[in-house]
Structure 1
Amino acid sequence: MAKTNIVDWTTITNFVVDAFKGYGIPEEDAKICADVLLESDKRGIESHGCNRFKPIYLDRIKAGIQNPVTNYEIVKETETTAVVDGHDGMGQVIGYKSMQLAIDKAKKYGMGMVVVRNSCHYGIAGYYTTMAAKQGCIGLTGTNARPTVAPTFGVEGMFGTNPLTLGVPTDEAFDFNFDAATSITQNGKLEYYERIGENLHAGTVVGADGKAIEGDAGAALKAIGSGNAALTTLGGIGEDLGGYKGYGFAMFVEFLSAVLQDGSYGKALIGKGENGEKRPFHLGHFFIAIDTDHFMGEDVCRKKAGDIIREVRSAKKAPGAERIYTAGEKEYEIRLARKDGVPINESVQKEFIAVRDELGLTQYKFPFED
Structure 2
Amino acid sequence: MQDALVAAGVPPPEAAVAAEVLEWADLHGVSTHGIGRLKPIYIDRILAGILKPTAPFEVIVETETTAVVDGHGGLGLYIGPKCMDMCIEKAKKHGLAMVVTRNSTHYGAAGYYVDKAQEHGCIGITGTNARPSIAPTFGVQPMLGTNPITFGMPSDDPFPFILDCATSVNQRGKIEKYAREGKPTPPGQVVDRDGNVRTDTEGILKDLQTGYCSLAPLGGVGTDMGGYKGYGYATVVELLSSALCSGTTSPDLSGVDKATGNKKAMPLGHFFIAIDVERFLPVGEFKNNTGKFLRQLRESEKDPKGPGRIYTAGELEHEGTIAVEKNGGTLVPEALQRDMLAIRDKYASIKDKYAKFSFE
**Alpha carbons 1:148, 1:159 under 8 Å: kept:** yes
TM-score of the pair, normalised by structure 2: 0.93
Asked which structure has the greater RCO (Cα within 8 Å, sep 6+), the reply is: 1
**Partner Cα separation in structure 2 for residue 351 and residue 197 of structure 1:** 23
Select the residue among 348, 353, 357 that pairs with 1:363: 353
**Partner Cα separation in structure 2 for residue 110 and residue 99 of structure 1:** 15
Select the residue among 75, 82, 104 that pairs with 1:119: 104
Residues 247 and 269 of structure 1: CA distance in aligned 2, closer, same or farther (over 3 Å)? same
Q: Which residue of 2 aligns with 1:166?
A: 151
**Alpha carbons 2:341, 2:358 under 8 Å: kept:** no
Q: Which residue of 2 aligns with 1:314?
A: 299
Select the residue among 352, 357, 361 that pairs with 2:340: 352
TM-score of the pair, normalised by structure 1: 0.91
**Partner Cα separation in structure 2 for residue 215 and residue 44 of structure 1:** 29
Does residue 1:305 correspond to 2:293, yes or no?
no
Q: Which residue of 1 aligns with 2:269?
A: 284
**Partner Cα separation in structure 2 for residue 257 and residue 286 of structure 1:** 6
3-state SS of 2:108 partner: coil
Q: Greater shift after overlay, 240-249 or 220-229?
A: 220-229
Give, in angstroms, the shift of residue 362 of structure 1.
Answer: 2.8
Residues 350 and 223 of structure 1: CA distance in aligned 2, closer, same or farther (over 3 Å)? same
**Partner Cα separation in structure 2 for residue 149 and residue 48 of structure 1:** 20
Report 1:208-357 matches (<5 A).
Answer: 208-216=193-201, 219-273=203-257, 274-320=259-305, 321-339=307-325, 340-357=328-345
3-state SS of 1:343 partner: coil
**Partner Cα separation in structure 2 for residue 41 and residue 169 of structure 1:** 21
Does residue 1:35 correspond to 2:23, yes or no?
no
**Alpha carbons 2:185, 2:198 under 8 Å: kept:** no
3-state SS of 1:97 partner: helix
Select the residue among 75, 81, 93 that pairs with 1:108: 93
Residues 353 and 190 of structure 1: CA distance in aligned 2, closer, same or farther (over 3 Å)? farther
**Alpha carbons 2:175, 2:185 under 8 Å: kept:** no
Q: Which residue of 2 aligns with 1:71?
A: 56
Give, in angstroms, the shift of residue 269 of structure 1.
Answer: 1.2
**Partner Cα separation in structure 1 for residue 347 and residue 216 of structure 2:** 39
Q: Greater shift after overlay, 286-295 or 205-214?
A: 205-214
Q: Which residue of 2 aligns with 1:5?
A: none
Specify the code of the residue in structure 1 equivalent to 2:346.
E
Give, in angstroms, the shift of residue 277 of structure 1.
Answer: 2.0
Give, in angstroms, the shift of residue 210 of structure 1.
Answer: 2.4
Give, in angstroms, the shift of residue 137 of structure 1.
Answer: 0.2
- The superposition leaves residues 32-59 of structure 1 with CA deviations (integer Å, 9 ceiling, x where unpaired) of 1111112222222222222221111111
Select the residue among 128, 133, 138 that pairs with 1:143: 128
Does residue 1:55 correspond to 2:40, yes or no?
yes
Q: Which residue of 2 aligns with 1:4?
A: none
**Partner Cα separation in structure 2 for residue 102 and residue 53 of structure 1:** 26
Specify the code of the residue in structure 2 equivalent to 1:363.
K
- The superposition leaves residues 271-291 of structure 1 with CA deviations (integer Å, 9 ceiling, x where unpaired) of 222322222111100000000
3-state SS of 2:125 partner: strand
**Partner Cα separation in structure 2 for residue 148 and residue 240 of structure 1:** 21
3-state SS of 1:115 partner: strand
**Alpha carbons 1:112, 1:289 under 8 Å: kept:** yes
Which of structure 1's runs of 4+ aligned residues deviate more than 4 A? 188-194, 196-200
Q: Greater shift after overlay, 198-207 or 44-53?
A: 198-207
Residues 77 and 193 of structure 1: CA distance in aligned 2, closer, same or farther (over 3 Å)? farther
**Partner Cα separation in structure 2 for residue 23 and residue 72 of structure 1:** 19
**Alpha carbons 1:70, 1:93 under 8 Å: kept:** no
**Partner Cα separation in structure 2 for residue 138 and residue 324 of structure 1:** 23
Give, in angstroms, the shift of residue 367 of structure 1.
Answer: 6.7
The count of aligned residue pairs is 352
3-state SS of 1:368 partner: coil
**Alpha carbons 1:47, 1:189 under 8 Å: kept:** no
3-state SS of 1:344 partner: coil
The alignment's C-alpha RMSD in Å is: 1.7
**Alpha carbons 1:150, 1:157 under 8 Å: kept:** yes
Give, in angstroms, the shift of residue 235 of structure 1.
Answer: 0.7
**Partner Cα separation in structure 2 for residue 40 and residue 337 of structure 1:** 13
Identity %: 47
Does residue 1:94 correspond to 2:82, yes or no?
no
